Amino acid sequence: MGKKNIESICPSCKSSNTNIFLNIPKVPVHCNLLWETSDDALRAPMSEIILGFCGDCEHIFNCAFDPALMEYTQQYENSLHFSPYFQDYARELADRLIETYDLHGKSIIEIGCGKGEFLKLLCEWGGNRGVGFDSSYENVGETDSDLEITFIKDFYSDRYLNYRSDFICCRQVLEHIQYPYDFMTDLRRMIGNKDTIVFFEVPNVDYTLKDLGIWDLIYEHRSFFSRSSLMYLFKACGFSVRDVSESYEGQFLCIEAVPEKLHPDTKGEHVCDMKMRHNVEKFTETFWARIETWQEKVRMMERSGQKAVLWGAGSKGVTFLNMIGGKDKIKYVIDINPRKQGKYTPGTGHKILPPEFLREFRPDIVIIMNPVYINEIQQMLDSYGLSAQLMPVL
Ligand SMILES: [Zn+2]
């Protein structure tokens, strides 16, 4: 693996007033990159997470992050689109944004649009025009010719200033970017004196810290934003924050902002929240305790001869398997996303199978990575006539 470069300057405010509080030595570099064979999956690239905390803006970031390892290819599969819960969430969000910002007949840019599902909602429902940027864009399925949407397989940059933007949205992207301060400053400069509204959605580290969503700590994320560090960043980069809210049961943060025109160079005033510092300090201890608890639970299942599967081959599931260890204890991973089925999880080489597989396997325990999906999983098991115990990983 070689020696890692540790970069301890805060990537969100450039302060050197930071300290390291957690070191996770061996995690897959790409949690969402699945493999064709178990052997390939076991040889997947691994690296480490070294978490730093910024005493000035309260940002949490991976000091060992190496962008050179982050090659997003078309194999990269992180769409949550197949979950009804997630679809409802995306629809409600699109609806709310159209309503709040009167998005009708407007020009919308989405940065990191993935397969374009969300942009299509905004354009279809509001009668808007859309341009989606994603360096890993691949055209899946038929394009609706009624919609005025262009997809560009590239990063959004100065080259594309000719595309109008009344509204820019960017979901689950900012946390992957090596220098979010530079990224937001560039975006602010590109907006210039226009009245563009920006909407960003990121995972919420407050949830990770308070509710111990420790399986959300993945290498792909350079940054772990809290409400305060996110607001600090936007203000520091010349935006005026309209609203910050939690969504997806507190797991995501949504920020809505407009360009600050009067005092674009004013840094956000900030009082460091002692509670945040306390949560960070407490986290390290509880992190390792949580892992031991689950290792013990899984050992108990094995000893009592109970058959367990894990539901959810997303980043939480992959992180869980890698941190808990023991390929033989949990045999399979179930996922409703057909693009993941038949593939193998990085680092542990678990085979991913469709829910129907459970009819034949008849598990005693289904470990559920994200408790928001518990109802839809229960319904599916009921329809198969299975009475497995559902065990959410809280
Ligand atoms: Zn900072």
Between 143-157, 161-175, 177-191, 299-313, the lowest mean confidence (pLDDT) is in 143-157
Please determine, for residue 252, whether its predicted confidence score (pLDDT) is greater than 90: yes
pLDDT computed for residue 2 by the predictor: 45
Express as a percent the part of the chain with pLDDT over 70: 91
271 Cα: distance to centroid of ligand 1 (angstroms): 12
pLDDT computed for residue 270 by the predictor: 59
Whether 20 is in a domain gets the answer no
Whether 162 is in a domain gets the answer yes
pTM for the full predicted model: 0.85
| 172 shares a domain with 102 | yes
155 Cα: distance to centroid of ligand 1 (angstroms): 25
Whether 77 is in a domain gets the answer no
Tell which of 232, 248, 266 closes a domain. 266
Tell which of 266, 288, 323 closes a domain. 266
Nearest partner of 42 among 387, 347, 325, judged by Cα: 347
**pLDDT tens string 269-313:** 555 667 788 888 888 888 999 999 999 999 999 999 999 999 999
List the shell of residues around ion ligand 1, using CB closer than 5 Å: 10, 12-13, 15, 54, 56-57, 59
Cα 70–Cα 75–Cα 78 angle in degrees, nearest 5:
80
Instruction: For residues 28-54, give the mean pLDDT.
Output: 93
**pLDDT tens string 216-251:** 899 989 999 999 999 999 999 999 999 999 999 899
Domain that holds residue 360: 275-392
Cα 265–Cα 154–Cα 157 angle in degrees, nearest 5:
20
159: Cβ contacts below 8 Å, ≥ 6 apart: none
272 Cα: distance to centroid of ligand 1 (angstroms): 11
Q: How many CB atoms lie within 10 A of CB 34?
A: 25
Instruction: For residues 343-350, give the mean pLDDT.
Output: 95
